[in-house]
A and B are shown apart, each in its own frame.
Chain A
Amino acid sequence: MNASIKQDTAAAAIATPALSVEIEGVNLSYGDNHVLKDVGLSIRPGEFFAFLGPSGCGKTTLLRLIAGFNQADTGRVTIGGRDISALPPWKRDVGMVFQSYALWPHMSVRRNVAFGLEERGVKRAEVDRRVDVALGLVGLSHLADRRPSQLSGGQQQRVAVARTVVVEPKVLLLDEPLSNLDAKMRVQVRRELRELQQRLGLTTIFVTHDQEEANTICDRIAVMNDGIVQQVGTPMELYENPANLFVANFLGTANILDGRIASDSRHFELDGGIVVESGSDIPPGSKLVFRPQHAILAPADAKGEGVAMPCIVTGREFLGASVRYLVTIGTNPVAIDVPFQSGRDLVEIGAPASVRIPERSLLWLSN
């Protein structure tokens, strides 16, 4: 309790008014490789925002562009309304925590944290005071005189954060900050990061390829692929209403069924001859998408609500809380999650069955 009050006071000492970040029409190429394609994002003051996407999607390039380590070919970045595109990295005042932490091995923890303040010409006594505050904030005051190499990965990560926030940056950038930690530390540190961000009220951008990390701590996420922002939204919006097949597939598990749209735009003929009826017009080029847990596996002859599709059970995986049935509908492989209840009979492999989905859970998505 006591420690938390102390940390709150410390946070109050560091906190600055939150600023918005606007990215407008950014293009960036390395030779023939078009890495960022007309990227535009609007990040609100005090928001915890994630760039999420597979490796090579341009998310780290975009983050480094905000920090000034990459130059955009076109477009601009503004922070709190001020255009920073032309500034060198050392004049931008955006704090970045590096993936490798980049702690300088020839300096103690204290000297590492003091560096940015010294570069800003802050007076010695003031430097000492603020370094103490920052180290208190991440709970590392007792390790101030150690060398970075004498710290664990989690501690190094916290030093890197302290070194960055001590200079009171306008924006905090986190480049895959959890990727060098083991699985258990990752969960703990991501909660700490979220708490710290809340206390400081600092606009924060977080780069990750791990949807769980993004989902658990971020207010909003920009899903990126191939240099293009695919969709921006809260984690739940993205999961419920993915804008396209990539987002549906990247966030959670999605069943994607191929087929042809009938001429009336209301019927979808799956490969294998089964026809699905839609309550609304199906957009051209779409495929049928639904989540494994939104469908139920019913006996082949059962009647009920929603869309029913005959299937054959081909496999079964026990996941703990649920059982995942692998079935084929026509020629499409599909996964269905059924909550596990002991004592209830499992469906046998090879048995014919029926996949039943409520109409509202059907998504019609294209690339």
Chain B
Amino acid sequence: MTAIPTATTSHPSRRISATPGQIALALAIAAFLVMFLVLPVATVIYVAFTEKGTSSFTLVNFYDFFRTELFMRSLWNSTYVAAMSVVWASVFALPLAYLTTRFAFRGAAIVQTLGFLPLIMPPFVGAVAMQLFFGRNGSINLLLDEYLGFKIDFMEGLNGVIFVQSVHYFPFILINLSAALRNIDRAMEEAAQNLGSSGFRLFRRIVFPLAMPGYLAGASLVFVKVFDDLATPLLLNVKDMLAPQAYLRVTSIGIADPMGYVISVVLIVASVLAMWLSAQALKGRDYATTQRGGGGLARRKMSPGEAALGYGVVFLILALVLAPHLGLLLLSFATIWSFSPLPDGFTLAHYGRVFGESSIYIKNTLLYATIAGGIDVVLGVAIAYLVLRTKLIGREWLDWMATAALAIPGVVLGIGYLRAFYGVTLPDGTPLASLWITIVLALAIRRLPYALRACYAALQQISVSLEEAAENLGATKSRTVRRVVVPLMAGGILAGFVTSFSTAAVELSATLMLVQSNSDAPLAYGLYVFMQSAAGRGPGAALGVIAVLLVAACTFLSHLVIERSQKAKGMDH
């Protein structure tokens, strides 16, 4: 559709052609991605492989890394914590996914809504609240000690990180696994029953293998998220893990120290490796199971005994998962909460303080997340259009580059920005890296893959013939995009914006590296600072509650808007 036969060619031209506007657009996007993603990451890798002070290639930094006992322990700890978080997240997610998709289950919608939780609250926010419930002197242990005479170390050292992370990130497995379970053709299961299979054997041999792609997608995501997370271990005072080590190296020893960069490279390699392994595990297998007339697994009614057990399990898991949120809410209203199962008294003072002194955090967050989300959907729509609707050479590279941001941990991007842009100064002498816009750009790059996928999916659903009809009636390409494509994509664009906005609003790991002054700090940073001290916990919790409400409100609002626009377009089935 983009081939424009020239007057000199008698037969249709086989040459790949595109309009000058498309080429310019592609080049602009490529320049942006190279500048703010490729260059900083390349800088990190370059520094990791060069000798300090000179620019000669060396492996000595890596040799030092592997020789240092602290770093090797950190590498092992990070791997262990990420793997155990996957295990525990699976333990939480499997029963919930199975019960809600396989049985006629009241409250299935509530369980599925949990999927939004990791999006609207960073795990480190819950970490403090969980310490109050599950810590050595938290509510649960105080009660255990009083009535049973023993305590359980839920929150000590690595256990604490694993606990917080798995409670927080298990919805990623839940969502993907549930979707996979729902997509299994009901006949797949019935055929096995017809041949004499039932119960757990049926689940093990047929149902779970068919849901494997969904499970692996969720599990690898959890692994990478936990492996890369900086703020949760820091807040729980666990320093011998990789991301905290990278952060501490760069912030305490200095930006010239090569070790921070070496750790960054290790983080990138581990992320890529985890994603590659999960893709590899499924390679060459055909798991597309929804067939004509499929319709998901049959939902069975539970017997009273099964129902009691089922609801018991679900209730227990939900209580565990909602504990950080409940704890945060209690904490934000608590006067003093220490060495007691519940706070001593309640007050509104924390909210007063937050709105008084700390409203700058909220303002900054709204500003940063809005700009970042805006950048993301503009780039997302443009890249999706170039990839799906033009024959531009190398257009897939834009997609790959943007998506590669998934594999770059926030702390690495932050270090890259510091190193790449600190030398770049504005005319008045301030370094580029110290401007708040740098934070926005980092957020935009980090969240671009989410927005891109949403835009991509939205465009894929639009039949090309709708655009051809517009062109046939005399609309140019750019006017077709404006009048037909973008309006039809509106739902997907909004979904992409909200995902970018809400995750950017609570993002911390890159931000932690880039915030230079308190007046430029977003909410997540303010939260982190508050949570450092015992006195700041109350206001910090209040700020956390505000963040959750803010993001939840935006998400809900966008759902309403999307639903309404789809109804108006008659796309509602």
Contact = CB atoms under 8 A, between A and B. Distances in A.
Interface of A: 67-69, 88-96, 98-100, 102, 104-106, 115-116, 119-120, 147-149, 163-164, 167, 180
B198 A88 contact: yes
Nearest to B286: A149
Contact of B292 (A163, A164, A180): A180
Interface string B167-198: 00000000000000000010110111111111
Contact of B188 (A99, A104, A147, A149): A104
B287 A102 contact: no
Question: 5 nearest interchain CB pairs?
Answer: A116-B195, A102-B187, A102-B191, A149-B286, A89-B193
B230 interface: no
Contacts of B209: 104, 106
B285 interface: yes
B190 A102 contact: yes
B190 A98 contact: yes
Given A105-B288, A119-B197, A149-B286, A96 B210 contact: no
A68 B205 CA distance: 21
A198 B206 CA distance: 32
A148 B188 CA distance: 13
Interface in B181-225: 185, 187-188, 190-198, 201, 205-206, 209-210, 212
A102 B192 CA distance: 9
Nearest to A116: B195
Given A89-B190, A119-B201, A100 B185 contact: yes
Given A69-B190, A102-B187, A115 B197 contact: yes
Given A96-B191, A100-B293, A106 B198 contact: no
Nearest to A64: B190
Given A89-B190, A96-B191, A119-B201, A102 B185 contact: yes
A68 B292 CA distance: 22
A104 B191 CA distance: 9
Given A100-B294, A167-B196, A106 B212 contact: yes
B286 A100 contact: no
B185 A90 contact: no
Nearest to A96: B194
A342 to B, nearest CB: 44
Nearest to B289: A105
Nearest to A91: B196
Among the interface residues A102, A116, A163, A164, which one has the most CB atoms of the partner chain B within 10 A?
A102
B192 A67 contact: no
20 contacts: A89-B193, A89-B198, A92-B194, A95-B194, A95-B195, A100-B187, A100-B291, A102-B185, A102-B190, A102-B191, A105-B285, A106-B209, A106-B210, A115-B192, A115-B195, A116-B197, A119-B195, A147-B286, A163-B195, A164-B194
Contacts of B212: 106
Contact of B196 (A99, A120, A147, A149): A120
Interface in B246-302: 285-289, 291-294, 298
B287 A90 contact: no
A105 to B, nearest CB: 5
A6 to B, nearest CB: 25
Nearest to B189: A102
Among the interface residues A88, A96, A167, A180, which one has the most CB atoms of the partner chain B within 10 A?
A96
Given A99-B293, A119-B201, A148-B286, A104 B210 contact: yes
A204 to B, nearest CB: 15
Contacts of B286: 105-106, 147-149
Contacts of A92: 194
A67 B292 contact: no
Contacts, number: 87
Given A102-B191, A106-B287, A90 B293 contact: no
Nearest to B206: A104
Contacts of B196: 90-91, 93, 116, 119-120, 167
B219 to A, nearest CB: 17
A95 B191 CA distance: 9
Given A98-B190, A115-B205, A120-B196, 11 more contacts: A67-B194, A90-B196, A95-B195, A99-B293, A102-B188, A102-B191, A106-B212, A106-B285, A115-B195, A119-B195, A119-B201
Contacts of A90: 193-198
A94 B288 contact: no
Among the interface residues B192, B196, B288, B294, which one has the most CB atoms of the partner chain A within 10 A?
B196
Nearest to A100: B291
Contacts of A89: 190, 193-194, 198
A89 B190 CA distance: 8
A182 B196 CA distance: 31
Nearest to A112: B191
Interface string B399-432: 0000000000000000000000000000000000
B197 A105 contact: no
A228 to B, nearest CB: 24
Contact of A105 (B192, B287, B293): B287
A92 B190 CA distance: 13
Contacts of A148: 286
A311 to B, nearest CB: 45
A105 B190 contact: no
B184 to A, nearest CB: 10
Contacts of B185: 100, 102
Nearest to B193: A89
Interface in B476-528: none
Among the interface residues B191, B205, B206, which one has the most CB atoms of the partner chain A within 10 A?
B191
A69 B189 CA distance: 11
Contacts of A96: 190-191, 194
Contacts of A105: 210, 285-289
Nearest to A94: B194
A93 B288 CA distance: 28
A100 B292 CA distance: 7
A317 to B, nearest CB: 33
A163 B195 CA distance: 9
A164 B195 CA distance: 7
A102 B193 CA distance: 12
A89 B187 CA distance: 13
Interface string B526-546: 000000000000000000000
Contacts of B298: 69
Nearest to A120: B196
A91 B199 CA distance: 12
A95 B196 CA distance: 10
Contacts of B198: 88-90
A215 to B, nearest CB: 25
Contacts of B285: 105-106, 147
Nearest to A67: B194
Contact of B195 (A68, A106, A167): A167
A331 B473 CA distance: 49
Contacts of A116: 195-197
A268 B123 CA distance: 85
A118 to B, nearest CB: 9
B193 A98 contact: no
Nearest to A92: B194
Nearest to A107: B209
Nearest to A180: B292
Given A105-B288, A115-B197, A98 B187 contact: yes
Among the interface residues A119, A149, A163, which one has the most CB atoms of the partner chain B within 10 A?
A119
A113 to B, nearest CB: 10
A119 B195 CA distance: 7
A119 B287 CA distance: 22
A164 B198 CA distance: 16
A115 B185 CA distance: 18
A323 B286 CA distance: 51
Given A90-B197, A104-B210, A116-B196, A98 B289 contact: no
B283 to A, nearest CB: 13
Contacts of A102: 185, 187-188, 190-191, 291
A93 B194 CA distance: 7
Contacts of B194: 67, 89-90, 92, 94-96, 164
